[in-house]
Amino acid sequence: MKVCELCEKLELELLSGENSLGNDIKGCYCGDLLSWVMSKAESGDAWLTVMGNINSIGVAVLADIACIILVENAPLDADALKKATENDIAVLRSSKPAYDIAVSVSKLLGD
């Protein structure tokens, strides 16, 4: 599933990374501790988090994350938005909690 399809189906707000909407989403990972994410998330995962700081964008870049989904309307700070734009990282946002989004992603991915 492409990031743009997920964005449309879950009515997510697109905050950055228009050029990465064609990324393939292969799985999903939820977590807010950055090293934990780098240890456990797989390349191509949609990453659900409340961490909208510049370091989250760094982690997404290095760990080959397909997109970040900020859950429960978590903020994306100005430095993070700048870095996400520079690195073409798709950052999406939802008012729903991580659990709800993860369940929806799982259904859409068909497992």
What is the closest distance, in whole angstroms, from the C-beta atom of residue 40 to other proteins in the complex? Answer: 9
Is 75 a residue that touches other proteins (CB under 8 A)?
Answer: no
Query: How do beta strands 91-93 and 27-30 pair?
Result: unpaired
CB 68 within 8 A of CB 12: no
Is 59 a residue that touches other proteins (CB under 8 A)?
Answer: yes
Q: How many CB atoms lie within 10 A of CB 61?
A: 15
Is 78 a residue that touches other proteins (CB under 8 A)?
Answer: no
With the CA atoms of 2, 27, 16 and 56 taken in that order, what torsion angle do they form, in degrees rounded to the nearest 10?
-170
What is the closest distance, in whole angstroms, from the C-beta atom of residue 51 to other proteins in the complex? Answer: 5
Is 79 a residue that touches other proteins (CB under 8 A)?
Answer: yes
- Of 33 and 103, nearer to other proteins (C-beta) is 33
Name all contacts of 35-42 with Cβ < 8 Å and 24+ positions apart.
37/63, 38/62, 38/63, 41/65
What is the closest distance, in whole angstroms, from the C-beta atom of residue 61 to other proteins in the complex? Answer: 6
Interface residues with other proteins (CB under 8 A) are: 32-36, 38-39, 43, 51, 53-56, 58-59, 61-64, 79, 87
